[in-house]
Amino acid sequence: MGYCFWCGTWAQLRADHICVRCRDDWVRRRRRPATMSSVRYLITGGAGFIGSALVKRLLDDGHEVRVLDDMSRGNPQRLAGYPCQIVTGDIRNPSTVLLAMQGCERVVHLAYLQGTQTFYANPRQVLDVALRGILNVLGACERTGCADLLLVSSSEAYQVAPVVPTPEDVPLTVPDPLNVRRREDRFRTGGAGVGAGRYPGPGGDRPAS
């Protein structure tokens, strides 16, 4: 017996940590006709400013969403009243990531520590979260068979870009060698399609907290 995150009940679990009923439902969804567009998403960092906006949009579009967030910067109140499943845990814990990804068909990875000030104050922690986090996500994708991953990056990879708006083929520059910026391009690993996107300064009419 164990707790199934999908249906929120105690039941006899399979080896993949979800109950038989939810697993059967997931298998049916994997075989659904192309006209049926509802998808189960895992959003890491989904209680953050950007993540919560994405979660709400996916739910409004009729998808099912699970959020993985350690709430160090995220705020569950951003998702109050929305029918999503929230798993509170550290992206650096591979078991937590694997459990959260069970039954999901797509993953959007936003679990980072952002901000230039944060990088200079805690560079080891920033890099630890970024590197171990994405390695755990990729490993969980391979183990669960989740074949679609969107890796969300930052436009700061370009530093002060010579062209605005900035196309993808603008050369990267690192004027400060101590301020390591990441760049992730589209690639394939373990049979999973992986895309990367960069936000050039998100904003909106919602409060940040």
Minimum mean pLDDT among 28-42, 76-90, 139-153: which range?
Answer: 28-42
On whether both 69 and 6 belong to a single domain, the answer is no
Please check whether residue 207 lies inside any domain of the structure.
no
What's the one-letter identity of residue 72?
Answer: S
- How many domains does the chain divide into? 2
Respond yes or no on whether the N-terminal peptide bond of residue 165 is cis (omega within 30° of 0): yes
Provide mean pLDDT across the span 28-53.
77
On whether both 160 and 122 belong to a single domain, the answer is yes
What is the CATH number for 152? 3.40.50.720
Residue 170 predicted with pLDDT over 70? yes
* Percent of the chain that is helix, strand, coil (3-state, to 5): 30, 20, 45
On whether both 14 and 64 belong to a single domain, the answer is no
Beta-carbon-side half-sphere exposure of residue 88 (alpha carbons within 13 Å): 6
Please check whether residue 204 lies inside any domain of the structure.
no
On whether both 62 and 98 belong to a single domain, the answer is yes
On whether both 158 and 102 belong to a single domain, the answer is yes
Region class of 48: left (phi > 0), else alpha (psi between -120 and 50), else beta: beta
Minimum mean pLDDT among 87-91, 93-97, 122-126, 180-184: which range?
Answer: 180-184
Residue 8 predicted with pLDDT over 70? no
Please check whether residue 51 lies inside any domain of the structure.
yes
* CA separation for the pair 168, 148 (Å, rounded): 21
* CA separation for the pair 46, 65 (Å, rounded): 9
Domain carrying residue 151? 38-199
The answer to whether the beta carbons of residues 23 and 16 sit under 8 Å apart is yes
Helix (H, G, I), strand (E, B) or coil at 20: helix
* CA separation for the pair 50, 55 (Å, rounded): 9
Higher-confidence position of 14 and 170: 170
Percent of the chain residues topping a pLDDT of 90: 41
On whether both 81 and 125 belong to a single domain, the answer is yes
On whether both 18 and 121 belong to a single domain, the answer is no
Residue 75 predicted with pLDDT over 90? yes
Higher-confidence position of 13 and 121: 121
Please check whether residue 208 lies inside any domain of the structure.
no
On whether both 117 and 159 belong to a single domain, the answer is yes
On whether both 163 and 182 belong to a single domain, the answer is yes
* CA separation for the pair 56, 99 (Å, rounded): 22
pLDDT of residue 14: 67
Is the full-model pTM beyond 0.75? no
Burial of 69 (0-12, 13-18, 19+ CB in 10 A): buried
CA distances, 196 to each of 22, 119, 172, 186 (Å): 30, 21, 16, 6
Q: How confident is the model at residue 114 (pLDDT cuts 50, 70, 90)?
A: confident
